[in-house]
Structure 1
Amino acid sequence: MDALLPYRAMAHNNAWANHRLLSACLALAPEEFTRRRTGFFPSLRATLNHILVIDHFYVDAMEGGRLGPAAWSDPEPCTTPAALQAAQAAVDKRLIALLRGMEAAGLERIVAVHRGERVQHERMDRLLLHLFQHQIHHRGQAHAMLSGSPVAPPQLDEFFAAGEAPLRAGEFAELGWTEETVWGRPG
């Protein structure tokens, strides 16, 4: 088995889930996007921007950058769902490209994560798992917040089910993917 396949699949899953969630948010009135809600962050805008900001922080480190805490100098860089969707798609593409260009041995590479006062050294595989968990955690909160809005939250947990491939085909086309893009050649 390709050791990178699960990580590549998770990167695609994150991009797809972000696309689905942010596409739903496009239907929100501006006041619904910023309305105070129960969650770790006080609104959909704040929660979804947090995902973006932390993605910038970690993807930059994985790419060998030194962005560090400057990543969160503006905790809400995107004020609209459309701007957020474009920015999130760009960082999701960077993560997918990083994993596509990596060899399996790259999972053991030590990544320098610049945290301001110190540099954390972490294995790539562990950092990826942390990033995926972070995204899922906060996307779940945003999903719950969306449940309390006039817009129905999208289904986010069917990405890995093979029987759902026909339902994903249109969204995958929007993202420039096919099932083969995500999973490789069948067989």
Structure 2
Amino acid sequence: MKYEVNEAGPVREELWDEKTVRVHTGGFNINPNDFPRSVEYIKKGTPLAIDWATRNAKPVKTVTLAAALEADDTEVIVKKNHTFLVNEHVGNGTKAATISAIDSVDTATDKLTISAALGALPEGTVLTISTEAGDNKALLVATKLNYADVKLEGQPSVSAIYAADEVRESKLPYALTDAIKTSLTVRFLIIP
């Protein structure tokens, strides 16, 4: 007997110990309009905020600074791997600002123009989507991770992981902040 794989696609790296994964029963609706048009799939491992009353999920978006910010900068150079949209709010847990433009700078970075300065921040800082702009505004809280790649077509839904061992942070599609790691709780054993 010969086993042959005919399906093309990338070789997937293991993001977590698959034997320890716990997935919620039933799916959660996710809005394709929460993603740029260029995004075809919601990636496995995307942090999610779940609304149990509506059974809806929102991606908890993060972006990593590719250059340090000065105290009054309103142009932010970030790494490409993000799904932010114009008019969304980005913050650092202390301040949040509205994104008014996203420009491709080169193949590795984008420039976000924001409505207000976030203060001095070092390169490598991870910013998160916020519920609104201003001082001391709440960041969207991730409590789950997306179980599998989901194509953004029709009315997509995602399955949410509520526990997993050996979650390899360096293999996840988006950077995690300390606040996200805390909100995921000890049900997720996160390793480098």
Q: TM-score, normalised by structure 1?
A: 0.26
Larger helix fraction of residues: 1
- TM-score if structure 2 supplies the norm length? 0.26
